[in-house]
Structure 1
């Protein structure tokens, strides 16, 4: 990626994790930053960390990405105070219920979709006019490896991340031939604060092992190569290969066997756990 001095970079969801790491990485490159998050305290911490490594201008605003008008106002403030955005990272996201679909309230589906999917849509629509004003610019939308496969206890989260994938692939086709390079990111197994609920911790401890720094480094390298998609994080390549090559019926059984040890199966119809199936196979 060829950045010019003082390019304007927008990152959403910067209060912690990968969002904060993106902000620090671009700050060290000398970019001007427009940062937002709904977590005012975490946003302030990130702003202070960025200011400690860069003297470039910083705009930080407490923004709810589910509010289209608020995101549009953030985009307008960015252009007025920093200049036209050349890189936009739609990173903001939340976890789902971590419960089976029949135990997940409809408002939870609506909230997860509002943040994870419509937050991306709002960011794209608000900043695309600025991105299109450059001969070359980048639009990075963050999905997940759970935007490649469907997993138990994550119907709400998977739905939102599959939606980001479909939207971004279609948007990339629409922008083909323009100066806007659309890149889709499928991180997996990243040790961030997204898994906040108590019943998510067993899953998180087993699977979320990659550092945000490692993932962001891979994303920046992929941006430099103008790749359309990057899959990164702990064991993410296995997930990508499985999604591409294994028939869905068999894949669903494999996923259940892999994850059943790390979720509460008491609310599921009676079925064998992974350890029970392994025991039977070895007898």
Structure 2
């Protein structure tokens, strides 16, 4: 098996770097000696992440809405011009869904969730792919979710976006076989971040979001460039993944509903 990428002096791009998993990816990459290009929609969170980096870390920051394709392409151009191009791209930015039954989700909310969670990953991939292809070895990390493996009630918008990330990334991985770009698809489960912001999500967060984001970041960066291309990790992630693979859908949906009934409003 190929050795993991050595990040010393290599350019690592992270979207959604202002908090949660994105901040953990940034800090862990910096500890490994990477040059960083960090983007986030929240300027205050992005500045806070930059302030937490080890002394001497080279970093480029950009306030960015990943659903804006022109802005993502401009960010990629800046990384190329100012840092010499990316070696690793982690498309991590994402938002919570409406946490409502499917028929109650406003159309504009559903479209926004898809625009950020799926189109943001797609735009980031396409904008940086030429830079990655130019390297002898490079890595692309697209972050799906445990909800990109199973459908869960009151999360149809979020699940749709994360299933889309999964399908896009698996297809892209097949296209890039034989190149120097390793493609990694991450399905984190139960990670303790601030993505669950709505009042109706707090019982869910308290029960399920318990895994430290730093643990996932180390695991993902250890896998870069190796054959560990699907990364399923976090609270209850392995068992859920196994169920999604082995159980009939009618069984899985009933198990999921029974498990979530206690936290659904």
Per the shorter chain, which TM-score range? over 0.9
CA distance in 1, matches of 2:59, 2:6: 17
1:80 and 2:81 are equivalent in the alignment: yes
What are the residue-to-residue correspondences of 1:137-216 with 2, within 5 Å?
137-216=138-217
CA distance in 1, matches of 2:247, 2:222: 29
In structure 1, the partner of 2:246 is 245
The Cα of 1:76 is off from its aligned counterpart by: 0.4
Maintained 8 Å contact 2:137/2:225? no
The Cα of 1:83 is off from its aligned counterpart by: 1.1
| Runs of at least 5 residues in structure 2 that lack an aligned partner in the other structure | none
CA distance in 2, matches of 1:255, 1:125: 34
The Cα of 1:6 is off from its aligned counterpart by: 1.1
The Cα of 1:167 is off from its aligned counterpart by: 0.1
The counterpart of 1:26, out of the listed 19, 23, 29, is 29
TM-score by length of 2: 0.97
In structure 2, the partner of 1:15 is 18
CA distance in 2, matches of 1:226, 1:33: 24
Maintained 8 Å contact 2:29/2:221? no
> What do the CA deviations read for 1:41-79 (whole angstroms, capped 9, x no partner)?
0000011111xx141321001011000000000000011
The Cα of 1:219 is off from its aligned counterpart by: 1.2
CA distance in 2, matches of 1:168, 1:7: 23
Maintained 8 Å contact 1:28/1:54? no
The Cα of 1:4 is off from its aligned counterpart by: 5.2
Q: How big is the alpha-carbon RMSD for the aligned residues of Structure 1 and Structure 2?
A: 0.9
Structure number, greater radius of gyration: 1
CA distance in 2, matches of 1:140, 1:115: 16
Maintained 8 Å contact 1:184/1:228? yes
The counterpart of 1:48, out of the listed 30, 46, 51, is 51
TM-score by length of 1: 0.91
In structure 2, the partner of 1:256 is 257
The Cα of 1:156 is off from its aligned counterpart by: 0.2
CA distance in 2, matches of 1:119, 1:94: 11
The Cα of 1:214 is off from its aligned counterpart by: 1.0
The Cα of 1:231 is off from its aligned counterpart by: 0.2
In structure 1, the partner of 2:6 is 3
CA distance in 1, matches of 2:116, 2:52: 25
Maintained 8 Å contact 1:71/1:122? yes
Provide the aligned length of Structure 1 versus Structure 2. 262
1:37 and 2:35 are equivalent in the alignment: no
| Runs of at least 5 residues in structure 1 that lack an aligned partner in the other structure | 265-283
Maintained 8 Å contact 1:30/1:54? no
Maintained 8 Å contact 1:6/1:56? no
Which one scores higher on RCO, CA 8 angstroms, separation ≥ 6?
2
Q: Which runs of 4+ in 1 moved over 3 A?
A: none
CA distance in 1, matches of 2:57, 2:6: 14
CA distance in 1, matches of 2:188, 2:87: 23
